[in-house]
Structure formats: structure tokens, C-alpha cells
């Protein structure tokens, strides 16, 4: 991949993730071309999605197990929250935390158990956004489709100015291109990126600007359409742009197919959310946040899929379908499992982890009691306060000559004399 890394997204966080995902996709694409004889990016995305979510299944399983246990322990959590409702003093806050922590320990789960899936899935989604916008930078087999045309363009006099004007006229801003550089390898990558980002009108303009390469441009465009095609749509185009061009060209079937991408994404997200186990109602803030997310995420996918590449929409739909299949299996699995046995198993795991750290359950309970005693220690009485002051006064009266106590007494007497 070293020869195509120049134009890959170079963000500090998403950049490495995008390169890793692109590397995996490149392996899948190459395998499908060499072994099966199918070179289609949309099929590659579908296979890639299934593999990714299969690898992420252990995290999904843990999340679902957490949701099931949350349903069982919710009444206890609500009881504790009600017990300390409205109390903001240090003792009550600490007691609320200790009792809540004790409930989680009782069931052998972590309070952050539901966050793992989202923390992993969201970076993947945003990194794929970068990959699908600039596929040739990550898939060597796709980049190879442009080699002959790129060489032909670069052998044309003044091609840098022509390509610069084309990019500006077509308003190609989804990829970074700079035709002022002198490195030929970098220039070849930039020409490839610009060609991949062009729409049909852009290819027509390319034929006008490079009239001597018309046949090569036509064949490259045809090959690219086969690679990028998904139900007649280009996976690099957004449904919104397809709808606009379809309405102007009268290709209404494409308009319907483009509209089905975000709509299908929305429906699959809704079905996926309905199949997932929901936390019991109550005042628990985490449960409320999860319910809010369950409402917002499907709507987010509906509007988001209008403006992103079709390829990313395909990934989103297939990922939801895979999760639905997994969820149906998980629901049947958890119906057969005794939650009490699951809780005991979790407790044993938590106990072993504490033992590895050298902390026993009795030590944790003792520490909690000590903290509670410290917080609940009452203030000293007036009688005790007077006794302390008397001892301090006696100590000052018997201070040694030249000591700090004697000097403090002299200062005190001087102040008392002057204030009379």
C-alpha cells in the first residue's frame, strides 16, 4: 500500500483506522477478483461488513448481557436512588455511590458496560466515510483501473493546469488534490483521486479537454461504473446527488432506488432497536439516555444517509441487518439462560479479578466502612473545645524564656494593653 498512501486520509485518530479498514477491504477485493472473478466494491463492502461484525460479536454479546442484568437490578438501583433523592451532603453522596457500587458488584457487571460497542463502532463508521470517498487510495486493485488513463493524461502538455481548472469547475472538494507538486508519483495519485471523484458530466468534460484520449477515457469510465455499481447507482455518489441528477435526466427508477437507501437504513435501525433488550423505566439517567439514543439514531441515519456516499449507506444497512440476525439469536439464547446462574458466574469472575489485584471483598467492605465513619464523625462539643483552649493557655503560660511561645505571649499582652 505504500504506493497509494500519499492521498489516504492522514488524520491523527481516524487516519490509521481508515488505513487499517482499507487494508482489510483491499484483501477482500483482491480475493474476490482473483478467486471468484467478481470485482465490485459494493459486494466487497457487504462481505467486509459481515466480517467486521462477526469479529465484534463478543463485544455485542457482553453489551446484551449487561442489558439483561440491568433489567434485573433496576429495581434495586431505583430503591437506592429514591433513598437518597434530594440529599446533597457529603455523607449521602458517598453512601449513594457505595450502595450503587455494591449493587453492580452483586451482579458482577461494570457501570460502563454498555459503552464499549459505541466506542468501537463510531470510529469505524467515520473512518469508512473517508475510505468510501477515496477508494483508490486504499484499494490497489481499483487504483490499477486508472493507470493507463493517468499515464495518458500526464503525457499531455499542460495537463496540470487542465486538471486544476476541471477540479475547480466541477467543485471537487471531497478529496485533496494539488497539481502544483513536482513529484510524479504524487501527481499520479492526485490525478487518480480527481478522476474517481468525477460525476458523469465530469467525464464528458474530460473527453473534451483530452480529445486524444477519448477511447481510453470511455473504457476507464465503463470499467469504473462496473466496479462502483450498486443497483445501477455509483457508490461514490450520495443519494441526494443521484436524486437531483435523476430528476433532471428523467431516470426516475434511479431516484426511487436512491431514496430507498436512507429509508431502508432508517427501517433497519428501527427494527434493530426494537429487538434489543430495553432497560426498565424509572429515574435511572443511563436508561433515559439509552432510550433517547434509540429514538435519535434511526432519525440520524435517515438524514445522514441522504448526504453520504451510497457505499457508506450500504455498510450502514448491512451492518443493521447483521445486528438484527445476531440479535434474534441472542434473544433466543438469553431466554434459555438462568439469570441467577449468570450473576453467580459474573461474581466469580469479579472475585478472581480482585484477587489478582490483591484486594479481597472483606477489604473493600472495611474500606467502605472506614470512609463512612470518617464522613459521619460528629463535630466536637463545647465542653471539649473549652478543655482544649485551657490546655493551650496553660502551655503558653509555662513557655520557656526565648521560645516562640514566650514571644507570642509578649505580642498578645502588647496588643491587649493597646486596645484598652
Rounded-to-integer distance, Cα 143 and Cα 2, Å: 13
pLDDT(222) > 80: yes
* Residue 186 pLDDT > 90: no
| DSSP SS3 for 230 | strand
Give 44 or 371, the one with higher predicted confidence: 44
The per-residue pLDDT for 148 is 94
- Dmax (CA) of the chain: 111
pLDDT in tens, 114-131: 555 566 677 877 888 788
Mean pLDDT of the chain: 78
Tell me the average pLDDT across 3-24. 76
Of residues 103, 78, 225, 205, the one with CA closest to residue 153: 205
pLDDT, average across residues 409-418: 56
Which of 15-24, 165-174, 245-254, 331-340 is least confident?
331-340
Which has the higher per-residue pLDDT, 12 or 253? 253
More confident site: 393 or 167: 167
Reported as a single tens digit per residue, the pLDDT across 379-390 is 455 666 566 656
- The model's pLDDT over 44-85, given as tens digits with 9 standing for 90+, comes to 989 998 998 888 888 888 777 777 777 777 788 888 888 888
Q: Give the pLDDT mean for 353-358.
A: 65
Spell out the residues 6+ positions from residue 355 whose beta carbon is closer than 8 angstroms to its own: none
* Helix (H/G/I), strand (E/B), else coil: 251: coil
Q: Which residues pair with 229 in a beta bridge?
A: 234
Cβ within 8 Å of residue 104, ≥6 positions away? 73, 110, 111
106-110, 292-296, 402-406: segment of lowest average pLDDT: 402-406
Grid cell digits, residue 319: 451492518
Q: What is the pLDDT of residues 241-275, one digit of tens each?
A: 889 888 988 889 999 999 999 999 999 989 988 88
Residue 127: which of 7, 36, 277, 11 has the closest Cα?
Answer: 11
pLDDT value of residue 4:
37
Kindly tell me if the per-residue pLDDT of 7 is higher than 90.
no
Judged against a pLDDT cut of 60, whether residue 418 lies above it is answered with: no
* Cell, residue 14: 481516524
Q: What span, in angstroms and rounded, lies between the C-alpha atoms of 139 and 175?
A: 15
For 180-184, 257-261, 343-347, which range has the lowest pLDDT when averaged over its residues?
A: 343-347
Q: In angstroms, rounded to a whole number, what is the distance separating the alpha carbons of residues 278 and 331?
A: 12
pLDDT value at 321 more than 90: yes
Percent of the chain at pLDDT > 70 equals 74
Amino acid at each position: 500500500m505504500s504506493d497509494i498512501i500519499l492521498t489516504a486520509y492522514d488524520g491523527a485518530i481516524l487516519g490509521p483506522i481508515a488505513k487499517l479498514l482499507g487494508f482489510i477491504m483491499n484483501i477482500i477485493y483482491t480475493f474476490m477478483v482473483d478467486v471468484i472473478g467478481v470485482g465490485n466494491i459494493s459486494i466487497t463492502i457487504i462481505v467486509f461488513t459481515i466480517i467486521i461484525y462477526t469479529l465484534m460479536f463478543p463485544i455485542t454479546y457482553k453489551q446484551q448481557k449487561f442489558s439483561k442484568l440491568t433489567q434485573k437490578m433496576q429495581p434495586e438501583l431505583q430503591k437506592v436512588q429514591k433513598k437518597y433523592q434530594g440529599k446533597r451532603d457529603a455523607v449521602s453522596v458517598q453512601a449513594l455511590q457505595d450502595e450503587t457500587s455494591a449493587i453492580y458488584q452483586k451482579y458482577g457487571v461494570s457501570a460502563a458496560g454498555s459503552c464499549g460497542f459505541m466506542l468501537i463502532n463510531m470510529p469505524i463508521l467515520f473512518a469508512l466515510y473517508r475510505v468510501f470517498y477515496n477508494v483508490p487510495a486504499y484499494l490497489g486493485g481499483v487504483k490499477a483501473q486508472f493507470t493507463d488513463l493517468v499515464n495518458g493524461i500526464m503525457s499531455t502538455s499542460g495537463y496540470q493546469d487542465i486538471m486544476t481548472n476541471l477540479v475547480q469547475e466541477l467543485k471537487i472538494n471531497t478529496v485533496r488534490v494539488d497539481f502544483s507538486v513536482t513529484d510524479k508519483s504524487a501527481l499520479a495519485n492526485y490525478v487518480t483521486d480527481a478522476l474517481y471523484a468525477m460525476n458523469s458530466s465530469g467525464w464528458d468534460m474530460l473527453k473534451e479537454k483530452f480529445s486524444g484520449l477519448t477511447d481510453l477515457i470511455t473504457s476507464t469510465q465503463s470499467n469504473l461504473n462496473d466496479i462502483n455499481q450498486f443497483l445501477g447507482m455509483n457508490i461514490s455518489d450520495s443519494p441526494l446527488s443521484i436524486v437531483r441528477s435523476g430528476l433532471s435526466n428523467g431516470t426516475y427508477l434511479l431516484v426511487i432506488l436512491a431514496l430507498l437507501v436512507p429509508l431502508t437504513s432508517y427501517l433497519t435501525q428501527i427494527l434493530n432497536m426494537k429487538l434489543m433488550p430495553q432497560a426498565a423505566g424509572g429515574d435511572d439517567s443511563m436508561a433515559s439516555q439509552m432510550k433517547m439514543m434509540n429514538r435519535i439514531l434511526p432519525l440520524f441515519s435517515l438524514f445522514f444517509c441522504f448526504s453520504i456516499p451510497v457505499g457508506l449507506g450500504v455498510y450502514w444497512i448491512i451492518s443493521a441487518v447483521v445486528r438484527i440476525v445476531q440479535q434474534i439469536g441472542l434473544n433466543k439464547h438469553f431466554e434459555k439462560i438462568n439469570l441467577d446462574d449468570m450473576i453467580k458466574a459474573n461474581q466469580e469472575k469479579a472475585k478472581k479479578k480482585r484477587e489478582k489485584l490483591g484486594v479481597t471483598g472483606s477489604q473493600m467492605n472495611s474500606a467502605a466502612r472506614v470512609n463512612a465513619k470518617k464522613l459521619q464523625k460528629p463535630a466536637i462539643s463545647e465542653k471539649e473545645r473549652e478543655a482544649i483552649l485551657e490546655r493551650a493557655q496553660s502551655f503558653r503560660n509555662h513557655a520557656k524564656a526565648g521560645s516562640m511561645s514566650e514571644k507570642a505571649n509578649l505580642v498578645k499582652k502588647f496588643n491587649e494593653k493597646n486596645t484598652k
